[in-house]
Structure 1
């Protein structure tokens, strides 16, 4: 019955979104979205059984409504390999540039990648390992259990945020929030975060915040915009509210002429259930999940962009009960990526990439992506 309600809610959002297309240009309703289809090829048979390879869809539709000068509404539905989902739905009250409030099911600000999580917002065909949503080798719960925090991270709650200028060049974005928090039982359950009802499982809210400082350059300067950011969140994730998680990250972005450089680090410490039965004698009743990526992109002509990325993900601590026998107490995945993004026409793009994976507990392998998408 819950699944039927989700599908009906998504269908209603799509129906509402279709109507504004015929309205006048000065309508207070805005509609945007994207569609992307990716094929992930893994020649290695062993790795293929531990990764969701093949064709994967990703589509989104966002509807924004300007209610009045200070209040707006935004809702976004998406369809991915996880199925249909209402990704966010919130009211945004903006009385001042330095004081604004979002409340509802909100996109939680954690890391720079959260701002460009849609396929049209980044050049690579896959997400960084620390933020991967499900297209990851050895990402099942019995192995790495995905990354630090799969993006987009949306949750039920409220966000207080604002923007301040320090002179004419430095912009500071800041935000603090209280949300239902992550869910799970002896490690996080990411599917529970994407499934209705979007309520707290333990009646103990989680909290966090983010701050980013951006240097705004002159338009003709070789040194372009430079941004530095930091994010933090913490809460308890089990029904009994006894198991905690603490997560923080740092990010940096710089533009030098035609080059854009990015880097992010994220880490999470998660409590383990001390009463469960484990493979080894427990010393620490928690484990660490951490990783980082560095990325460089630049154009080649008017319709081609090239991107290079190095990223890694590490898990330190006791493997969960039922985990793969190959998973050790210090497991790491390193990945090298080279990719192209071709824009043959406005708002249409083709992605192609090659990846070399080096897991410490599993065999190394190569994979490739090719995808086609568009945005409006």
Structure 2
């Protein structure tokens, strides 16, 4: 399907449907000779997989990776990697009652208009399950970036109207909502439980911080680093907006406030979010994405069916009451993929 491939040098193509036999990814442009084992990739898959806690979908997919090419004797060969993740807990019958109805907030209507056919089983390619392949590819990119000294950390900054007031990076992976503030995390968990009991959902904001990116990464004019990151983030189904550094607050600032002054030690502020002119400036790259509320809710909603008849539906199934906790590794994966691709393009510029 057109649109399923991303990247120029480090390139990936995801495939598969939510309730099909498998999902997966083909990754090309991988540096040869890099040691990488299944456990390294599996660690990232385990962070994204469903059924992690009481605040995520109860669907049980272990997302055990199957690397069928591109690895030999524990090292990358430089040839395309194919990683398969077999679906094991499909329940397509849960969607039988609404197979001809358009679920509000979902891509049912638009997919049918585009292709003249759609997979109604859990949204098919439009399902969040598609991101499993991205996380597998992102783990490969992350491994390559580690050799460059790059670190990527994303976390829930706000959820359901509850905002983090403190930042403790060590706490992010110690709580089910992956928040950076212990007090806010408890409130977020309670909020999710309340909404789930009421058959509703909520959105939030995820922030990503990237350290160790050298100055000079990004390809002006159309392939700016922030433009590529924006495209990658907005390609995630639940993401509806993005901002860098000071972001939209810049609209209320003066030039004298927003400009980042420098001294001999470097930048004295980071309103630019580590990117100027579409190129990394060596400072920490900071961006935030808006994550919409989960579309699948059990509250009755008005819609129409494929015959144009109005009706009220209830979406029955196993869905995350908030997408934020499980989208964290997806955000990190896509950031890793963008950066590895641009690093390789920068290397080609200097014949490295």
TM over 0.5: no
User: TM-score category by the smaller chain?
Assistant: under 0.3
The structure where strand makes up a greater share of residues is 1
The structure where helix makes up a greater share of residues is 2
Normalised by the size of structure 1, how large is the TM-score? Answer: 0.24
Normalised by the size of structure 2, how large is the TM-score? Answer: 0.25
